[in-house]
Structure 1
Amino acid sequence: MIKPRVKAPVISLRILPSAMTVTAICLGLSAVKFALDGRPTESMAFLAVAAILDALDGRMARILKATSRMGEEIDSLADAVNFGVAPAFIVYATLLSSSRIGWIVVLLYAVCIVLRLARFNAMLDVVKPDYENKYFVGMPAPAGAIGAIGPLAAKMQFGDGWWTSEIAVVIWIVGVSLLAVSSLPMRKIHTFAVSPNMVPLLLVAVAILVAASILFPYLVILAIIIGYVIHIPFAIRTRRFLAAHPEVWDDKPRQQRQARRAIRRAQPHRRSVMRLGLRRPGS
């Protein structure tokens, strides 16, 4: 009698996103280990790879149609570990271990990141206008992690200085913590529109960024931090304009910019007319 052949179990690709998230957690905790061992370069490298995996696992889950409630919970826990706990330990081990208030400061940072993640999850089911989906409320956790290790990157690039002093590091970490729990709008990078004519230039810029990350990693981290901080006032202004002008919500980004420029040019003329109208005759 011929026995039926039993097929070997096949591991589905649907597990890949969760595997990437678990790998990111391991890398984040390994970053802490390297920081405690006095190896800050490897620590920041592992944290960067963990951030890249965090950015890819959600997209991979949507591509494979493998989204699940368990995967969402794992992803949230991974964000808390990689962008809250890990940077706090790295900064404490490398810059604030001898500070009397250093532990309090890094605890503040970790708690603020966790609160920011909790608020983000709570707002997922809130119905919002389409333009609101282009903005984070407060600094996102990955950006907060990059910002937190900014003083360490400056130390590795330029050595010790005022930027590594206790007071400077404390003020910086407190500032990053407050940005994370603030209500300031931060633009989501993937919502920026790029015209087809700019795609070749964008690819060249990506190639330059990758090369610079290999040769000058600490300068790239500092440049990313500076660029992100500079974008905040523009994000606030753009979101304020969209909130006040619902008639442009359905327009393309280019049309919205044109409408904003037209309104801005019309405002000085409107103010001058109002001043002339308030003047008394013969004055």
Structure 2
Amino acid sequence: MNGARLAPPGIRLLPNAITVLAMCSGLSAVQFALNHQLTGAIAAVAVAAVLDGLDGRIARLLDASTRMGAELDSLSDAMSFGVAPALTLYAWQLQDNRAGWIAALIFAVCMILRLARFNTLLDDTEQPAFSKEFFVGVPAPAAGLLALLPLVLTAHFGYAGWWAQQPVVMVWMVAVAALAVSRVPTLSLKTVKVPPRLMAPLLVLVAVLAAGIIMFPLISLAVALLVYLIHIPYAVYRHRWLVRHPEAWAAAPRERRAIRRRTQRRLGLRPPHPRRALAGARQRMRRGRNRGPDGPRLSWRRLGLRGNRSR
């Protein structure tokens, strides 16, 4: 029975074929950079990132995940997002600078180390449940595209501004490499849960993003990369909050918001609800009216001297 559910052997090779195509696309960026075709170099790495996101999902859908496929995927990521961006930036702007080759080596080595650590974390069973929501450091495809941001800006504006100066490019490469090997948490899109009420606005946003990519591909990519950088402080805050409240990860969105509100009130960061505060003030006033200087006041009804009006 189990064998009948498996996909045919030819179909099971599809994820590995997509991985090989991703590696070829990433390495083609170097050839485009040598021919001074900046847009082609950027597009090659972007296509490699898209194919890298597809191969794993297709492998899980077809039940074709193998140990060989996992190793091949890691090697492809190392070539496409480590070696290829480093050589592309070196061939584009850093050929006549010895320090530029050092920066390219640092970037490639850090990306390979980042992938090696990612593979070891897959076998770590002691990680908390909410760790599935985060990457440790910037993932390889995002880091490869972030490293090419000076190249993207140059291709869009048509001239090499301050962002394309050799010191800026080298410092940027090393900074992205440091983010890749760091312990900074970043959000994983694989586990993002979208509430039903936000589904329609999200689809509209996807349509706007698609239109921007079609009409203004380079500047849309640059804006997306900057937004990704901006999200990192939020990811750090979210990770720290879940470390303090691990029970909130498995809770429903409404319960998680309730936990967050209780935490904010405890810290004095969120004032009480106005209606609840007004109701509490009224109750305190009523209690104050019924109290005398020597204790609670005794009303006529409590003493049994005044009858009920309903009679």
Whether TM-score is above 0.5 comes out as: yes
Q: When the two structures are superposed, what TM-score results if normalisation uses the length of structure 1?
A: 0.88
Partner in structure 1 of residue 217 of structure 2: 217
Q: Shift of residue 250 of structure 1?
A: 2.1
Partner in structure 2 of residue 274 of structure 1: none
SS in 2 for 1:101: helix
Amino acid at match of 1:191: T
The whole-number CA distance in structure 2 between the counterparts of 1:30 and 1:269 is 52
Deviation larger for 110-119 or 127-136: 127-136
1:87 and 1:148 in contact (8 A); partners too:
yes
Partner in structure 1 of residue 67 of structure 2: 69
- CA offset digits 1:35-67 (Å, max 9, x no partner): 111111111111111111110000000001111
Q: When the two structures are superposed, what TM-score results if normalisation uses the length of structure 2?
A: 0.80
Deviation larger for 203-212 or 14-23: 203-212
Aligned residue pairs total: 261
Q: Shift of residue 214 of structure 1?
A: 2.1
Amino acid at match of 2:191: T
Q: Which runs of 5+ in 2 are unaligned?
A: 1-7, 271-311
Q: Shift of residue 207 of structure 1?
A: 1.9
Amino acid at match of 2:176: V
Q: Shift of residue 187 of structure 1?
A: 0.6
Partner in structure 2 of residue 130 of structure 1: 129
SS in 2 for 1:53: helix
The whole-number CA distance in structure 2 between the counterparts of 1:96 and 1:217 is 25
* Segments of 4+ moved more than 4 angstroms: none
Q: Map residues 1-283 of structure 1 onto 2, 5 A cutoff.
A: 12-127=10-125, 128-158=127-157, 159-268=159-268
The whole-number CA distance in structure 1 between the counterparts of 2:145 and 2:27 is 16
Question: Structure 1 residues 266, 114: CA separation in 2 closer, same or farther (over 3 Å shift)?
Answer: same
The whole-number CA distance in structure 1 between the counterparts of 2:34 and 2:76 is 20
Deviation larger for 89-98 or 128-137: 89-98
The whole-number CA distance in structure 2 between the counterparts of 1:108 and 1:245 is 37
Q: Shift of residue 200 of structure 1?
A: 2.1
The whole-number CA distance in structure 2 between the counterparts of 1:76 and 1:135 is 19
1:95 and 1:152 in contact (8 A); partners too:
no
Amino acid at match of 1:22: V
1:29 and 1:86 in contact (8 A); partners too:
yes
Q: Shift of residue 260 of structure 1?
A: 2.1
> Identity over the aligned pairs, expressed in percent?
47
2:130 and 2:246 in contact (8 A); partners too:
no
Q: Which runs of 5+ in 1 are unaligned?
A: 1-9, 271-283
The whole-number CA distance in structure 2 between the counterparts of 1:264 and 1:184 is 24
Q: Shift of residue 254 of structure 1?
A: 4.6
Q: Shift of residue 268 of structure 1?
A: 2.5
SS in 2 for 1:160: coil
2:30 and 2:41 in contact (8 A); partners too:
yes
The whole-number CA distance in structure 1 between the counterparts of 2:99 and 2:255 is 50
2:45 and 2:145 in contact (8 A); partners too:
no
Structure number with greater Rg is 2
Amino acid at match of 1:263: T
1:193 and 1:253 in contact (8 A); partners too:
no
